[in-house]
Structure 1
Amino acid sequence: MTSQAVLRAMRAEDMPRIERIVRRTWSYDDQVSERTAELLGRIDTCNCLSRRTYMRVADIDGDVAGFIVVNDLRNPRRDMRLRAIQAVSMLRLLASRDGREGLTMFRRYMATDRRLDNDAREQGKHYDGEIVLFIVNDEYRGYGLGRLLFDDALRHFREIGVEDFFLYTDTDCDFGFYEHRGMSRRAARSVNITLGGRADSTEMYIYDDVVSRQLGN
């Protein structure tokens, strides 16, 4: 890496790049057609960004090297424009077999997230903040961008008075990062999916912590 990362707000022109990073992170192109992979990347991106109350992009020489999206659950946001794009993309998935499989996968993931949330609530956990989406572009891994973005999000939480926060993750992600940070794995559930005609099972998790422990008092 020849230049230092600059954290900035998302720009409209970042959206295609962010969609491509999401699409590559979940390896959609390895499992489905190019068109379905494009739609799934857009659906995931719109679903997460439509809930953002704060977002930072790690910019290196004008390229999106990573990003983090958070949601202040006390003052939730719904970006209806992105929700509309997501809805249209979901309808377009119905036109192909792998698209329908992708839509079923997305719905199962969302349902499993809700079950994990219920598991946490049954343990008496209630959260003020969520880390909705956190990705470091694989072209820029190994340079500390994950820590940079994660700490920035936590400092934002502290500034607005959020203490208890959580995130969803799964075995397809680098959940070891959260273990290294000392976060608690609150609950786990398995979800079975079929994509590109191949059946698979993924373990999904909810991790949580408090901002003061992460950043220090």
Structure 2
Amino acid sequence: MMEVNLRLMQTSDYEELLKLVIVTWDYRSWVQPELVYPMAEFFLSDLLQRSDHIVIATVDGTLAGVCAGDIIDLTKLQSFSRRQKLKALGEILQQTEKDSIFEKYIQTLALDEVLLRESKHEFPASLNLLIVKEEYQGLGIGSKLYRDFCQYLKNNDVHSFYLYTDDSSDYRFYEHQKMEKLAQKDFYWKPKQRAERETYFIYGKYI
């Protein structure tokens, strides 16, 4: 019988998590080879930097999944500054890397902010990342990580949170956890080409 354990992330887990991100979102199929690691690293390090509770699931000592989230304690000035940073980066890319994959990725981050505003909710916490390796899916590891995050919030007297996801991810997992879809937006990686359309969602939960 496999032994599933949860523990806090260590810096030594980083490279394994980076590879997990690349595989989970199939970076090699849509990002040019020399940008696979830099783009995945930008994505992962941004999420980890914004998270104060990062938990690793192991199966018989092998990394099987991760859950990262945070209790939001940013001041209004910090939140404003992050939005302005993304706006400035987007403008720089418009001039230097127009229509590049990285420019499109920055646009999706800005879209997240739009979804949060359109949800018409304010949340004290966010779930930033939840991944389980394909070979360990179906064993209840995702649910275990999800419950651990909810318990972390309750222990800190926080009773609601939100998350962003999209239709390239297993968003129905969150519906199974009784999370409520609050808003959604279509995003086109290439102008108005249906084959290049992705739908982004924001979900909320009161616990």
TM-score tier, shorter chain, comes to 0.7 to 0.9
Which residue of structure 2 aligns with residue 178 of structure 1? 174
TM-score, normalised with respect to structure 2: 0.83
Q: Secondary structure at the match of 1:149?
A: helix
Unaligned runs of 5+ residues in structure 2 are: 76-88
Does residue 142 in structure 1 map to residue 138 in structure 2? yes
1:11 aligns with 2:7: no
C-alpha displacement of 1:43:
0.9
Distance in 1, matches of 2:15 and 2:170, equals: 23
Q: Is the 8 A contact 1:36 1:99 kept in 2?
A: no
1:52 maps to which residue? 51
Corresponding residue for 1:24?
23
**1:40–1:102: 8 Å Cα contact kept in structure 2?**
no
In structure 2, how many angstroms separate the alpha carbons of the residues matched to 1:203 and 1:100? 19
Shift in Å at residue 100 of structure 1? Answer: 6.8
Contact kept? 2:97, 2:103, Cα under 8 Å: no
- Please state whether the residue corresponding to 1:103 is helix, strand or coil: helix
| Deviation digits for residues 140-181 of structure 1 (CA, Å, limit 9, x no counterpart) | 111110100000000000000111110001001101111111
Give distance in 1, aligned partners of 2:118 and 2:74: 23
Closer, same or farther in 2 for the Cα pair 1:199/1:37, shift >3 Å?
Answer: farther
Alpha carbons 1:128, 1:164 under 8 Å: kept: yes
The total of aligned residue pairs comes to: 188
**TM-score scaled by length of structure 1:** 0.80
Give the partner amino acid of 1:153. F
Q: Stretches of 4+ moved more than 3 A in 1?
A: 97-100
SS in 2 for 1:147: helix
Q: CA RMSD in A?
A: 2.5
Unaligned runs of at least 5 residues, structure 1: 77-89, 212-217
Query: What percent of counterpart residues are identical?
Result: 25
Say which SS state the counterpart of residue 148 (structure 2) adopts. Answer: helix
User: Which residue does the alignment assign to 1:167?
Assistant: 163
